[in-house]
Amino acid sequence: MQSKAEYTLMRSVRSALVGLGTVTILLTFVGFATFSPDGADPRPDVTTTTPSALAADAGSTTGRVTAFVFANQLQSHQEESPEIVMYGEPTLDPSVLKLPTLRSIGSAQPQPTTTTQPPTTTTTPPAGGPLTEGEMRLLAAQFFPAEQLDKAVLVAGCESTYNPSAYNPAGPFAGLFQHSLAYWNDRAAAAGWAGASVYDATANTAVSAWLWARDGWGHWPTCSAWADRQLGG
């Protein structure tokens, strides 16, 4: 297949040859029109010839000859000219294109974030079941005198049903003998149990025995009265 440049060059050469042939033919006809074989005037019917008339007549004849030759050459050139090939911009086949796949921002998967929750402080009493009456008796026997043991067990049962984690928000009160939280730290320190938890069954019983030894059962008026009735007092 010819390139566009080669096709243009061939057309230019062909046009130049056609033009050269046309000029050659034109000069030939002019020469025959001007001179005859015997030297006579080629137009015997013209009796009077002026330079201006001769020039006009020669120009008319030359023009007709030139037009005839040019028309013939143009027709011949058109018949022999090959089919014109149009050169356009190349087209791209979309199927051969490999375009990157774009993801929308909204389709991106968010990365989970790790958050550390600060430790929380709660006043909820520790989980744990209540003591049995026998366990409560063994614990109270370590701190109360024998003559007060039965009453101490009854008071603890009345106050907390032997549950070391018992809590009453009315005071608030907490522990086996339901000590007031407002006084617990001072009482525990005075009894030799500084820093102990009110929910510690042993500490709570020990501080209760210390408080009874100092003040009697007056810190538990309702339950101590009920205990006395149970004991027949």
How high is the pLDDT of residue 19? 72
Cα–Cα distance, 181 to 167 (Å, whole number): 10
Does residue 174 lie in a domain region? Answer: yes
Show which of 45, 80, 115 is a domain's final residue: 80
Q: Are residues 65 and 147 in the same domain?
A: no
Q: Are residues 139 and 223 in the same domain?
A: yes
**pTM: predicted TM-score of the whole model, two decimal places:** 0.48
Q: Are residues 138 and 71 in the same domain?
A: no
Could you report the per-residue pLDDT of 38-52, keeping only the tens digit for each? 444 444 444 444 544
Does residue 87 lie in a domain region? Answer: no
- Mean pLDDT value of segment 208-233: 96
Cα–Cα distance, 182 to 184 (Å, whole number): 6
Strand order in the sheet with 173-174: 167-168, 173-174, 179-180
Does residue 113 lie in a domain region? Answer: no
- Whether the per-residue pLDDT at 233 is higher than 80: the answer is no
Could you report the per-residue pLDDT of 1-48, keeping only the tens digit for each? 556 666 677 777 677 777 777 767 776 665 554 544 444 444 444 444
Does residue 119 lie in a domain region? Answer: no
- Domains of the chain: total: 2
Q: Are residues 153 and 74 in the same domain?
A: no
Q: Are residues 147 and 70 in the same domain?
A: no
- Which percentage of the chain shows pLDDT scores above 90? 44
Which CATH number covers residue 205?
A: 1.10.530.10
Show which of 80, 97, 114 is a domain's final residue: 80
Three-state DSSP class for 189?
helix
- Mean pLDDT value of segment 72-98: 49
How high is the pLDDT of residue 23? 66
Does residue 114 lie in a domain region? Answer: no
Does residue 158 lie in a domain region? Answer: yes
The pair of three-digit structure tokens given for residue 1, joined into one six-digit string: 């297949």
Distance from CA of residue 125 to its chain's centroid?
A: 47
Contacts 24+ apart (CB under 8 A), 11-16: 14/77
How high is the pLDDT of residue 174? 98
- Mean pLDDT value of segment 86-96: 48
Does residue 57 lie in a domain region? Answer: yes
Cα–Cα distance, 132 to 173 (Å, whole number): 21
Q: Which amino acid is at 154?
A: L
Does residue 122 lie in a domain region? Answer: no
Question: In which domain, by residue range, is 48 found?
Answer: 4-80
Show which of 15, 49, 80 is a domain's final residue: 80
Strands 173-174 and 179-180: antiparallel
Closest CA to 130 of 157, 169, 153: 157
- Residue 172: cis peptide before it, omega within 30 degrees of 0: yes
Q: Are residues 221 and 154 in the same domain?
A: yes
The pair of three-digit structure tokens given for residue 52, joined into one six-digit string: 């201006």
Closest CA to 133 of 113, 118, 114, 150: 150
Q: Are residues 219 and 155 in the same domain?
A: yes
